[in-house]
Chains A and B, each alone.
Chain A
Amino acid sequence: MAAELLMTPYAMDRFMGRLIAEGPVMGPRDRRVQPGFVKFEWLSSADELVLEYTTTTIPPKKAFFPPRQPLFEFELSEPPTITAVQEATPFTLVGVHPCDLAGLSMLDDAYAREPAEACWPAARARARVIGVDCLPDEYCFCFAMNTCNSREGADLFLTPIARGYLVEVLTEAGEEMLRLSDVEDAEDEDRSQAQAFRRDKGNRLSASIDASPEEFAEILETQELGELWREIAGRCYSCGSCNTTCPTCFCFDINDEFDLGLTGGQRVRTWDSCQLQEFALVAGGHNFRRIRWQRVRHRWHRKFLYLYRTFGRPYCTGCGRCSRACTADINIVDVSNEVIARARGRV
């Protein structure tokens, strides 16, 4: 068991202040224009940090894999030049929920697989991560996806208790960070409150997928269910919000953008989405998933079949962001359970 300490709200505030003074810190922050909607953002002072929040639109993967990321700058001089855009500053990512810790870890595995991607591990190596426990809303199903108590990749983990936060020290980097803080020894009462918090969280998580990951993968692998996918596709905009909000999605597109000087520019990569019509369009004009229902089905296959088989766990954290973001109200738990029910009804 990792060491457990107590940090009072006052100590937390000072700790965050010192972290921010030491280097860049990204964490959940309220929006100035639209208060009440928290997002991960670079913090300029400790009082901006919102440690109690339900969820964010965009997951914290954006700290390591920005939605729009310049890869290099080019000049069409003689000879042409290329300058890589490289970030080297270490930073701290604060306030990551357990499901999102699992999401980051899934991307670690996915990007490490050959041919390995270079930007993600480089960015991960620059960062320390502080997790925090949370209470779910009706869209969350992390319990069903076995991520609700994840501590993966966290250096410190915080659980809200009456006296402040119970701090789990999970790595040496976490211990090192605590040199900046005034922690106290936790008492039994603090520990039992943290346990009660986790129990309460578990009790509130009602949404669940009605089959084991293995059974669900088998169903997706063996059952066509074309009619169901067509029904869902009839309601789907192909807007991609279920991908652009997903902590486990890793696809990107790459484009060159000229400056107005017309002699140079940037190569930029941006998040892509398999729900968009042109996602699987290749040179020569062939589109592997031109039809909408094929793309809808692909999202389920990708998360619960292909990557489950490749990495040994479903590539879904149960964060519910895709369902919250879907303006067609296509809910990942409902659709999954409908798939399971129809498949079982058939055999």
Chain B
Amino acid sequence: MPQEAPIPRFGHKPQVAFFDFACCEGCQLSVLQLEEKLLEILGHVDVVTWREAMTETSSEYDIAFCEGSITTEEDIERIRAIRKQAEVLVTLGSCASGGCHNELKNQWSMDEVLGVVYGDDAGGISTIPSRPISAVVDVDYQTFGCPVSLPEFVTVVSCMLTGQHYEPPNQPVCVECKLNDYVCVYEKGEVCLGPVTRCGCNAICTSFGHACQGCRGLMDSANLPAMLKALTREEAHSIMRMVVERHSLTEDEIAAKLRIYNNWPELRMEEAQPDDD
């Protein structure tokens, strides 16, 4: 049985609200899939606003889970108001915490983007380059993944409720992939973004034999120039030679693969890394 004692940090059973910004709302849906674990969490908190799961709403809450990217001036006002009310703000998933697909539009001018999407009806609609919530307000806890990695969500919830700090892992997916003893997809001749992607999903894609698409975003010191070299190197040994020959990727193609989840700030393949000399 979950314990019913008040959470020391809040002095009472904290009230929780879920909010969404520009996104597919897949992260909220994922959280609902936690099922039994979700029930355990609900033993510690009261959910007062959650559009995807209930009809009631409330303007009083202690903890805000925010999903989605900031893409309009109104979004900025709205997230500032949420920040003011919430004692704890948790960003949910890659749209809210990192780059994700929304930031793909940042490659073009906002006028061009409006023209492509709305054509002649674009008048009166305004949009700004997409950015994660952490680019606008202070965030207490971040979770990554598209959709949000559930192991990380559970860890963040337990850290938050026990008043502990949570530092997103700054290691690549390869670490979790290897600790689980999965087969590296490179050994099957495929390209995986695991070596530059922040872990925390427990390498769920490679567990099924699929390449990591990088949905959790780049880790802090991702060595992108190394990826260019690895995927274009001619004098490789057998495993990597098979990969290089099979795909013969160009620099632009490699960048395009990475940009799908990593265009905030704008992706730069040649960027020097904080731990490089």
Contact = CB atoms under 8 A, between A and B. Distances in A.
The 4 closest A-B pairs by CB, nearest first: A244-B178, A67-B179, A329-B240, A237-B195
Interface in B1-22: 2-3, 7
Interface of B: 2-3, 7, 37, 40-41, 44, 154-155, 157-159, 161-162, 170-172, 174-175, 178-184, 186-188, 192, 194-196, 208-209, 220-223, 225-227, 229-230, 233, 236-240, 273, 275-277
Given A237-B172, A277-B170, A292-B223, 7 more contacts: A235-B230, A244-B174, A260-B157, A262-B44, A270-B179, A277-B171, A327-B230
A69 B21 CA distance: 39
Contact of B186 (A31, A230, A261, A327): A327
Contacts of A270: 179
B209 to A, nearest CB: 5
A256 to B, nearest CB: 9
Interface stretch (A32-40, A105-113, A181-189, A213-221): A32-40
A112 B203 CA distance: 33
A323 B230 CA distance: 13
A293 B273 CA distance: 12
A276 B171 contact: yes
Contacts of A236: 223, 226
Nearest to A38: B183
A335 to B, nearest CB: 12
A197 interface: no
Given A138-B238, A240-B174, A329-B230, A67 B3 contact: no
B18 to A, nearest CB: 18
Nearest to A244: B178
A34 B181 CA distance: 12
A239 B172 contact: yes
Nearest to A226: B277
Nearest to B174: A239
A27 to B, nearest CB: 14
A67 B180 contact: yes
B234 to A, nearest CB: 11
Contact of B175 (A39, A244, A292): A244
Interface of A: 31, 33-34, 37, 39-40, 57-58, 62, 67-68, 138-139, 230, 233-241, 244-245, 257-263, 270-271, 273, 276-278, 290-293, 323-325, 327-329, 331
A40 B181 CA distance: 9
A291 B220 CA distance: 13
A262 B3 contact: yes
A207 to B, nearest CB: 10
Contacts of B162: 258, 262
Contact of A260 (B2, B222, B238): B2
Contacts of B238: 138
A31 B179 contact: no
B191 to A, nearest CB: 9
A58 B176 CA distance: 12
Nearest to B34: A260
A258 B155 CA distance: 8
B224 to A, nearest CB: 10
25 contacts: A31-B183, A39-B181, A57-B182, A57-B183, A62-B181, A139-B237, A233-B276, A234-B223, A234-B229, A234-B276, A237-B226, A238-B221, A238-B275, A239-B175, A240-B178, A262-B3, A262-B44, A271-B179, A277-B220, A277-B221, A290-B275, A291-B275, A327-B174, A328-B226, A329-B239
Given A237-B227, A260-B2, A328-B230, A58 B209 contact: no
B208 A33 contact: yes
